[in-house]
Amino acid sequence: MDDMTHKLQELSKLTDLAFQRASAPLAEYARREAELRKAIAALTPSSEYFASQEVSDDAKETVRRGGAAMAWDRWAAKRKSQLNMDLARVLAEKAGVEAQARRAFGRSEVARHLLVDHKKG
């Protein structure tokens, strides 16, 4: 094996490791994104909740008169707003990590192609 082949193999290994390191956090970002989207979807307005449940009309009216439905809707809207801000932050961070991973992947592919081309002669 000549010196150039050895150097290109080392470069290929290093760029592959850099790609693995750059893309490793993506799984955690995907998990966090899914968790936030699920939490946002779970925050339904009281009207949707009552429509989907087997609750007597008397119970619904009691909740409405007592202000619980309005209190829930206010809390849910506030919580949903916070979760949406968290989701936006996660998506922005994820986009930055994805850009780094794409660059690292490109470098890894170039190094691999250089090695293959060099071996062909």
pLDDT tens for the chain, 121 residues long, are 799 999 999 999 999 999 999 999 999 999 999 999 999 998 887 666 666 667 677 766 776 777 777 888 889 899 999 999 999 999 999 999 999 999 999 999 999 999 999 999 7
Give the span between the Cα atoms of 25 and 119, in whole angstroms: 34
Residue 94 confidence (pLDDT) = 98
* Contact (CB, 8 A) for 104 and 22: yes
Measuring CA to CA, how many Å separate 9 from each of 40, 113, 116? 47, 11, 10
| Domain boundary assignment for the chain | 3-120
Residue 52 confidence (pLDDT) = 62
Residue 4 confidence (pLDDT) = 94
Residue 45 confidence (pLDDT) = 74
Residue 55 confidence (pLDDT) = 66
Residue 91 confidence (pLDDT) = 99
Give the span between the Cα atoms of 90 and 22, in whole angstroms: 16
Give the span between the Cα atoms of 31 and 105, in whole angstroms: 22
